[in-house]
Amino acid sequence: MKPWEAYFRRVTPYVPGEQPQGARLIKLNTNENPYPPAPGVERALREMDAGAFRKYPDPAASGLTAALAAYHGLAPEQIFVGVGSDDVLGMAFLTFFNSGKPVLFPDVTYSFYPVWAELFGIPYETVPLDAAFQIRTEDYARENGGVLFPNPNAPTGCYMPPEQVEEILRGNQDVVVVVDEAYIDFGGTSAKGLLGRYENLLVVQTFSKSRAMAGMRIGYAMGAPSLIRAMQNVKYSYNSYTMNLPSILLGIASIKDDAYFRETVDRIIATRERAKVRFRELGFVCTDSMANFLFIRHERVPAEELFEALKAQQIYVRHFRGPRVSEYLRVTVGTEEEMEELYRFLERYLSRR
């Protein structure tokens, strides 16, 4: 080892799903949207003036912030935008979880949470979900340094109505509670309705899933102006220009094209509901997902075997290692055609097994 290497920060990074290349493959492994972004986004992209790239972008991304505020019926002071919700969530960890007490999040959840905690030296404790993968709200009513959970949860897809989110807030009035709503547009009701009553609530959303813009990296938080200001102070202490100009302009265009957004989200929800029926017919146990993915386990055939068999067919799904989840596959909802191809393969494979 070189002497300077002794002083490197040692971290175990988050491992994102594979991004395999190829025209024929069916990619159902990273919860991307199978449909293109809104036509208004493509139009804005064509009309973009490359000459504008000469200058730094607006550090506050005011245009995007204003569009999001109007869309959600909030004030611009209640919106923080970042480079995907991963950036926003990382900023939230840095900004809010400095009490030295452990942050609480579920044992089965987005695997980035423990990575940020380790990176920033924030203590944390995981809270077990119940046997049906549900969050037990009463388990969060204890001393902690902050609370964080996705709703719907990932990779289970399980959803809590706002009344249950409020139960967690009622038990945690002295710390910041972060609700990661990466999948809320696929049928759930946002906790943003609780912002008026809970100044310690931060709701985080993204353009990556429901708005089909994972490649543009746009995420945002909604919360009381005091929370948003604190996050901005941290952001401006690290990198003033997180949002690049195309992301700002194309994000605004996406918000404006609401009819297309609702139509594609409805299509994905319909495909998901049909998938629940089809998977059960094929012998899978399936959570009642409210997201754009399904969390499934076959009654007889191990998940790892199915994962490999699907991959050999150029069908990519996600398999997580680790207790409780390793028996399951997470399958992103694709187009109807992609899903039909998946069922056809599974039918053939399982009949010979």
Return residues touching ligand PLP (CB under 6 A): 31, 84-86, 110, 150, 154, 180, 182, 206, 208, 214, 219
Which residue's beta carbon is nearest to the bound ligand PLP?
84
Please count the residues of the chain. 353
Strand ranges, E, within the chain: 26-27, 79-82, 103-106, 124-127, 147-150, 177-180, 201-206, 219-223, 284-286, 293-298, 315-316, 329-332
Q: What is the CA radius of gyration of the chain?
A: 21
Of 264 and 292, CB closest to ligand PLP: 292
Rounded to 5 degrees, φ, ψ at 245 are -60, -45
CB of 63 to ligand PLP, least distance (A): 19
With residues binned 3-state (H G I as helix, E B as strand, rest as coil), the percentages for the chain, rounded to 5, are 40, 15, 45
CB of 103 to ligand PLP, least distance (A): 15
Of 272 and 298, CB closest to ligand PLP: 272
As given in the structure block, the two tokens for residue 215 are: 């490649």
Of 37 and 150, CB closest to ligand PLP: 150
CB of 31 to ligand PLP, least distance (A): 6
**What Cα–Cα distance (Å) separates residue 57 from each residue in 34, 63, 72, 154?**
30, 11, 24, 33
Of 147 and 182, CB closest to ligand PLP: 182
CB of 127 to ligand PLP, least distance (A): 16
Of 162 and 283, CB closest to ligand PLP: 162
Task: Kindly state the greatest CA–CA separation across the chain.
Answer: 61
CB of 312 to ligand PLP, least distance (A): 26
